[in-house]
Amino acid sequence: MHQISLLGAGLIGTFYTMALHGHRGRDRVHTVYSRSPQRAKALAEKWGVPSHTASLDEAIADEHTDTVIVALPNHLHEQAVLAAAKAGKAILCTKPLGRTAAEAQRMLEAVEQAGVFHGYLEDLCYTPKTLAALASVRQGAVGKVLWVRSREAHPGPHSDWFWKPELSGGGAIVDLGCHCIEIARNFIGKGIRPAEVMCWADTQVHPIDAEDHAIGLVRYENGAIGQFEVSWAFRGGMDLRDEVAGTEGTIWLNHWLRTGMEMYTTGQAGYVAEKAETNAGWVFPVGDEPGALGYAEMFTDMFNAIDEGRPPQEDFYDGYVVNAIIDAAYASAKSKCWEPVKLTNWRGGEGVQTDAAARDYDAEHLLIKQERMLDGTLKLILRHKQSGQIIERIQPA
Ligand SMILES: NC(=O)c1ccc[n+]([C@@H]2O[C@H](COP(=O)([O-])OP(=O)(O)OC[C@H]3O[C@@H](n4cnc5c(N)ncnc54)[C@H](O)[C@@H]3O)[C@@H](O)[C@H]2O)c1
């Protein structure tokens, strides 16, 4: 059983508390910090949190707690993590870990030097669908993963600080791309080095200094591609979808809109779901929001990992790699060229070769493709191993 100091009483602090206190969990928020004493008090009263404070230091130092959850705006992560590491507590930090890889690296060094547990709260790698899909991929269900497409798009964030790049670190890439990048990394393999990034980003809609749209390609050393698509101006709610394409199979995941619950209302629905744009007409509520977004499985892994003395599925090193990929994406959006992912601290494999998925057909030929045709015949496309010539062979129906 763990007692938690929660730093931040905004949207994500509330979701985290819902996930921890919503069922009969053992791990409890003991104290909540917010700049505003009223907001801290309101969260504490609603969720049965015994103590609240408007002092960050007081919340971290609370003698009843062993774990600090950082749920503050991006520019405050480093300060909070460094203070919590100094206090010797386990630290769980929301995404993105830093605004830049340099910031993330300093946080990683601080927790490792202090020898404290560190977890990166990347919930979308823990949704029940994602965990099931990852298990299937690891069993070989899709063969070698070639291409992962991950999309997060919504009409834009709910607080002023997100829109100020000096506080948030950027726009939709750092806010939403961080999820997509880590989802792709999980499917492609965390030991495979992300090599370079090509990214388009633009401010198409909002009067801001950051990007509200971006598409990026992350090329991994084994040839796999992670594609992220993000928008802060998508209309119709929150579009959260992933696709995994491999040599032997395909997985499509839809996490939010049209997940199985659909309701028509003339307008009495109240709150529908995170980032829902309307509460009238056909709407798409979610049965269990913290569960569907991965918060429940994420905290189960985090606290089990602390108890078992092992790293969690997502830790600060992962947050650092994600930040390094984001830095390369911003560099590429500016230069309009492929930009290298600068990882001064790489802990995965080196020199992974691109392995083509060639299959022998017979002693002389490789099989490129086979297809059953309209007339029932089987058409084979073959490549001669020595000459390289490509031929067709037709097998009768
Ligand atoms: N799916 C996810 O994992 C997810 C979703 C949303 C947000 N987040 C992350 O959570 C963090 C917080 O986002 P949020 O959506 O809860 O934001 P929010 O604006 O809803 O809440 C932020 C909290 O920090 C407080 N705060 C703001 N400025 C502050 C300052 N200068 N000093 C002290 N406190 C300050 C606010 O009062 C509020 O309690 C961000 O890092 C964001 O990227 C993660």
Pocket of ligand 1 from Cβ distances under 6 Å: 8-13, 34-36, 39, 71-74, 76, 94-95, 121, 123, 159, 161
Quote the pLDDT of residue 355. Answer: 59
pLDDT of 213 higher than 70: yes
- CA-77 nearest atom, ligand 1: 41
pLDDT of 267 higher than 90: no
Name the average pLDDT for the chain: 96
- The string of pLDDT tens digits covering residues 181-208 is 999 999 999 999 999 999 999 999 999 9
Quote the pLDDT of residue 259. Answer: 80
Contact status, residue 184 vs residue 134, Cβ threshold 8 Å: no
Paired with 94 in beta bridges are 121
- Indicate the burial class of 308 (C-beta count within 10 angstroms; 0-12, 13-18, 19 or more): exposed
Contact status, residue 53 vs residue 41, Cβ threshold 8 Å: no
Residue in this structure with the two tokens 């309307």, named with its chain if needed:
278
Contact status, residue 361 vs residue 391, Cβ threshold 8 Å: no
Q: Which of 225-239, 298-312, 321-335, 356-370 has the lowest mean pLDDT?
A: 356-370
Q: Which top CATH class is 125-340?
A: alpha beta
Q: Please give the residue that has the higher pLDDT: either 24 or 155.
A: 155
For residue 6, report the distance from its CA to the centre of ligand 1, in Å.
Answer: 12
Residue nearest to atom 32 of ligand 1 (CA): 35
For residue 387, report the distance from its CA to the centre of ligand 1, in Å.
Answer: 61
For residue 157, report the distance from its CA to the centre of ligand 1, in Å.
Answer: 11
Q: How confident is the model at residue 356 (pLDDT cuts 50, 70, 90)?
A: low
For residue 11, report the distance from its CA to the centre of ligand 1, in Å.
Answer: 7
**What's the distance, CA 238 to chain centroid?**
15
- The string of pLDDT tens digits covering residues 43-76 is 999 999 999 999 999 999 999 999 999 999 999 9
CA atoms 263, 267, 268, 273: torsion sign: positive
In three state form, how does the secondary structure of the chain look? CCEEEEECCCHHHHHHHHHHHCCCCCCEEEEEECCCHHHHHHHHHHHCCCEEECCHHHHHHCCCCCEEEECCCHHHHHHHHHHHHHCCCEEEEECCCCCCHHHHHHHHHHHHHHCCCEEEECHHHCCHHHHHHHHHHHCCCCCCEEEEEEEEECCCCCCHHHHCHHHHCCCHHHHHHHHHHHHHHHHHCCCCCEEEEEEEEECCCCCCCCCCEEEEEEEECCCCEEEEEEECCCCCCCEEEEEEEECCCEEEEECCCCCCCCEEECCCCCCCCCCCCCCCEEECCCCCHHHHCCHHHHHHHHHHHHHHCCCCCCCHHHHHHHHHHHHHHHHHHHHCCCEECCCCCCCCCCCCCCCCCCEECCCCEEEEEEEECCCCCEEEEEEECCCCCEEEEEECC
For 3-121, the fitting CATH number among 3.30.70.100, 3.20.20.30, 3.40.50.720, 1.10.10.10 is 3.40.50.720
Quote the pLDDT of residue 260. Answer: 84
Quote the pLDDT of residue 338. Answer: 98
Residues of the chain with CATH 3.40.50.720: 3-121
For residue 315, report the distance from its CA to the centre of ligand 1, in Å.
Answer: 20
Q: What is the mean pLDDT of residues 381-386?
A: 96
Residues of the chain with CATH 3.30.360.10: 125-340
Quote the pLDDT of residue 207. Answer: 96
| Residue among 52, 55, 54, 73 nearest 4 (CA) | 52
- CA-74 nearest atom, ligand 1: 41
Residue nearest to atom 38 of ligand 1 (CA): 10
Residue nearest to atom 21 of ligand 1 (CA): 10
For residue 10, report the distance from its CA to the centre of ligand 1, in Å.
Answer: 5
